[in-house]
């Protein structure tokens, strides 16, 4: 066996990089002649506008070119060139994944779906067809004036595509499941360049896989046909308390997950803790929504405990609002460095586990605050609790079930998410390593209390790139997802060439 020494490996790596750069330039040229006007090269203003991502970690990758298809046929042409010439590529929709390389690529080709932005409402008002490059604000601005809504995202510029393909937590999930449970049909470009539909009638296995199984192993979705329903303004209430109240609020949050939310499927909520020295230190924040309640002077019963005068807030904001306004209310600015990590827990009989995670998170906050101070910078840390109550798990089963592997009998489940925002790249490593350590500690604590969720489910859309998301779908679903990937991409082209994100 030949011994590969350091310099030989280095030479191989360099020649590999040079070859791929050269090849992707050739592919860009081939695409430019097949799809004139849809391609842009570095140091041009179209290239710069495609290279805008929510997280600065993503915009730092510099692809050889961006391709911005106008139609599914354009996507098919580009994919044929890329898969025949074996060119690495990435696919961008809303561009909101935090980690580098999720929807952009250094040296390869990035397909930006932004121009696939058509939105049309069926005559019977029961289906809305949405192009894969649309953002949730585009959807709500089309639907609000018609008194319609879909099960979709909660922040304005997040992409329709990524959110639906990984699951999709919505205001309306309590009665209708996640976004992926409310797709009637996907139009998809396969690795071969063939354009197919996937629905309960055709390509049923592909349809199932795309319901939460992510896109990057199966195909490029070019259009989502979503179930729509009549919806007026929602009741919404945001509350901010001093962090010291967490020991009172978390037991109430636990009771809401286990008992409250299942009693009122029109209600939706999540809890966020943060450290914000300008407002005195730790804070607990809570957004409450109700799809049908309309009294702004008193809350719906399901949230009454949080409105008790014994729990004084620093800030509260009650409103009746359309989806567009609510989406803008929690829009997060572009251009900072971002990281997400998550895990999930089985809700136990008592809130102890949810309480005991808080001091573990405080240790991470102290570590990051010190690390940031050492480079004269800051990190914003968030600990987010989002429940999957039993009514959501039941609603997930109604339209034939999804790929996530979550069953009503295993619930309710609490998603525990870490979200971090910072600006100095010198902090990237400490953010990632301390987040991994904290998630490991949370999992170990849960295991010691018998409260790991079934299969150790990790929500894809809040996961870090190094997390083994697919293992959490369960053995059986993982095998079925692999089977579907092999059936629709027999040569494994997407596995090899579609870089970043989670691979089967
Ligand atoms: C501010 C903010 C708010 C959020 N709010 C919510 C929320 O309310 N509910 C929720 O569930 N999640 C939420 N998320 C998480 C969000 O669902 C994920 O970040 C999601 O992946 C973003 O989708 P995107 O299209 O913007 O991202 P992108 O980074 O463009 O895409 C994500 C991945 O999907 C692939 N992909 C994109 N388009 C396609 C396609 N058409 N076909 C196949 N693969 C494709 C990409 O290649 C990439 O790997 C939020 C995230 C942020 C940053
Ligand atoms: C979709 O929304 C984005 C963000 O507000 C906006 O820039 C874009 O022009 C909208 N697209 C369409 C087709 O209206
Ligand atoms: C949503 O409501 C706001 C008022 O809060 C209004 O200004 C806006 O036009 C509405 N948006 C749509 C798309 O209907
Ligand atoms: C939680 O509450 C306890 C007791 O009031 C307090 O010591 C701790 O700092 C709080 N933690 C957070 C994150 O607010
Ligand atoms: C709203 O709730 C308050 C308190 O329960 C009640 O007094 C009031 O009549 C309600 N308003 C409407 C419009 O129903
Ligand atoms: C630290 O950062 C602040 C604001 O970013 C800046 O005003 C200040 O000059 C910096 N101090 C040092 C010592 O670099």
- Please determine, for residue 348, whether its predicted confidence score (pLDDT) is greater than 90: no
DSSP 126-149: SEEEEETT-BHHHHHHHHGGGTEE
Grouping H, G, I as helix, E, B as strand and the rest as coil, residue 166 is helix
CA dist 32 and 134 (Å) reads 24
Across the chain, what does the average pLDDT equal? 95
- pLDDT confidence band for 479 (50 / 70 / 90): very high
For ligand 2, atom 10, the nearest C-alpha belongs to 138
Query: How remote is the CA of residue 376 from the centroid of ligand 6, in Å?
Result: 6
pTM: 0.95
Query: How remote is the CA of residue 290 from the centroid of ligand 3, in Å?
Result: 18
Give which of 194, 198, 41, 82 is closest to 498, Cα–Cα: 82
- Is residue 298 within 6 Å of ligand 5 at its C-beta? yes
The pLDDT value given to residue 20: 65
- Please determine, for residue 12, whether its predicted confidence score (pLDDT) is greater than 80: no
- Is residue 297 within 6 Å of ligand 5 at its C-beta? yes
- Is residue 338 within 6 Å of ligand 2 at its C-beta? no
DSSP 96-131: ---STTSS--SSSEEEEGGG---EEE-TTSSEEEEE
CA dist 10 and 13 (Å) reads 5
Which domains are delineated in the chain?
6-115 (3.30.43.10), 119-231 (3.30.465.10), 234-466 (3.40.462.20)
Q: Give the start-end residues of each E strand in 217-280.
A: 220-230, 234-242, 267-276
Q: In what side-by-side order are the strands of the sheet with 379-388?
A: 315-321, 234-242, 281-290, 267-276, 379-388, 413-422, 337-346
- Is residue 432 within 6 Å of ligand 4 at its C-beta? no
Q: Which atom of ligand 4 is nearest to the CA of 383?
A: 13
Please report which ligand is nearest the Cα atom of 146: 3
CA dist 188 and 182 (Å) reads 17
Contacts of 388 (CB under 8 A, 6+ apart): 344, 406, 411, 412, 413, 414, 415
- Is residue 144 within 6 Å of ligand 3 at its C-beta? yes
Q: Which atom of ligand 2 is nearest to the CA of 138?
A: 1
Segment 435-465, tens digit of pLDDT: 999 999 999 999 999 999 989 999 999 999 9
How many CB atoms neighbour CB 30 within 10 A?
18
Segment 380-423, tens digit of pLDDT: 999 999 999 999 999 999 888 999 999 999 899 999 999 999 99
Please report which ligand is nearest the Cα atom of 140: 3
Torsion angle, alpha carbons of 227, 232, 235, 236, to 10: 60
C-alpha radius of gyration, the chain, whole number: 23
- Is residue 323 within 6 Å of ligand 2 at its C-beta? no
Please report which ligand is nearest the Cα atom of 423: 6
The length of the chain is 504
Segment 58-91, tens digit of pLDDT: 999 999 999 999 999 999 999 999 999 999 999 9
For ligand 4, atom 5, the nearest C-alpha belongs to 244
502 contacts 469 by C-beta, under 8 angstroms: yes
> Pairing state of beta strands 119-121 and 127-131?
antiparallel
For ligand 3, atom 7, the nearest C-alpha belongs to 325
Give which of 169, 168, 205, 171 is closest to 188, Cα–Cα: 205
25 contacts 69 by C-beta, under 8 angstroms: no
């Amino acid at each position: 066996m030949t011994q590969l020494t350091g310099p030989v490996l280095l030479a191989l790596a360099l020649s590999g990089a040079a070859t791929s750069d050269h090849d992707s330039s050739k592919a860009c040229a081939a695409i430019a002649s097949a799809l004139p006007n849809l391609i842009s090269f570095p140091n041009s203003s179209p290239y710069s506008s495609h290279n805008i991502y929510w997280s600065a970690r993503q915009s730092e990758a510099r692809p050889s070119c961006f391709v911005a298809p106008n139609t599914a046929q354009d996507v098919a042409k580009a994919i044929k060139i890329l898969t025949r010439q074996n060119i690495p590529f990435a696919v961008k929709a809303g561009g909101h994944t935090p980690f580098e390389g999720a929807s952009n690529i250094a040296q390869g080709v990035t397909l930006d779906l932004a121009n696939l932005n058509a939105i049309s409402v069926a005559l019977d008002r029961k289906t809305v067809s949405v192009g894969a490059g649309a953002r949730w604000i585009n959807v709500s601005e089309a639907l609000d004036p018609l008194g319609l809504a879909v099960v979709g995202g909660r922040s304005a510029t997040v992409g329709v595509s990524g959110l639906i393909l990984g699951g999709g937590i919505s205001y309306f999930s309590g009665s209708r499941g996640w976004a992926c449970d409310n797709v009637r049909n996907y139009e998809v470009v396969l690795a071969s360049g063939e354009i197919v539909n996937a629905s309960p009638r055709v390509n049923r296995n592909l349809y199932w896989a795309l319901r939460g199984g992510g896109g990057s192993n199966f195909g490029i979705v070019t259009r989502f046909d979503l179930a729509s329903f009549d919806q007026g303004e929602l009741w919404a209430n945001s509350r901010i308390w001093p962090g010291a109240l967490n020991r009172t609020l978390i037991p109430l949050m636990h009771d809401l997950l286990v008992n409250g939310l299942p009693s009122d499927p029109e209600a939706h909520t999540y809890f966020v803790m943060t450290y914000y020295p300008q407002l005195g230190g730790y804070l607990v924040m809570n957004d409450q929504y109700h799809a049908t309640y309309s009294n702004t002077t008193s809350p719906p019963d399901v949230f009454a405990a949080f409105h008790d005068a014994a729990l004084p807030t620093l800030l509260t904001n009650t409103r009746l609002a359309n989806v567009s306004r609510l989406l803008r209310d929690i829009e997060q600015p572009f251009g900072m460095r971002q990281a997400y990590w998550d895990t999930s827990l089985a809700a136990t009989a008592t809130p102890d586990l949810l309480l005991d995670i808080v001091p573990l998170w405080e240790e991470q906050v102290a570590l990051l605050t010190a690390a940031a101070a050492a480079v004269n910078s800051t990190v914003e840390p968030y600990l987010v609790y989002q429940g999957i109550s039993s009514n959501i798990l039941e609603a997930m089963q109604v339209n034939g079930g999804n790929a996530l592997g979550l069953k009503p009998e295993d619930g309710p489940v609490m998603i525990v998410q870490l979200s971090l925002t910072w600006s100095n790249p010198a902090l990237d490593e400490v953010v990632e390593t301390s987040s991994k350590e904290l998630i490991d500690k949370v999992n170990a604590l849960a295991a010691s209390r018998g409260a790991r969720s079934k299969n150790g489910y990790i929500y894809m859309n809040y996961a870090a790139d190094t997390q083994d998301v697919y293992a959490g779908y369960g053995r059986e679903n993982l095998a079925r997802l692999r089977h579907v990937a092999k059936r629709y991409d027999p040569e494994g082209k997407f596995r090899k060439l579609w870089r970043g994100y989670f691979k089967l």
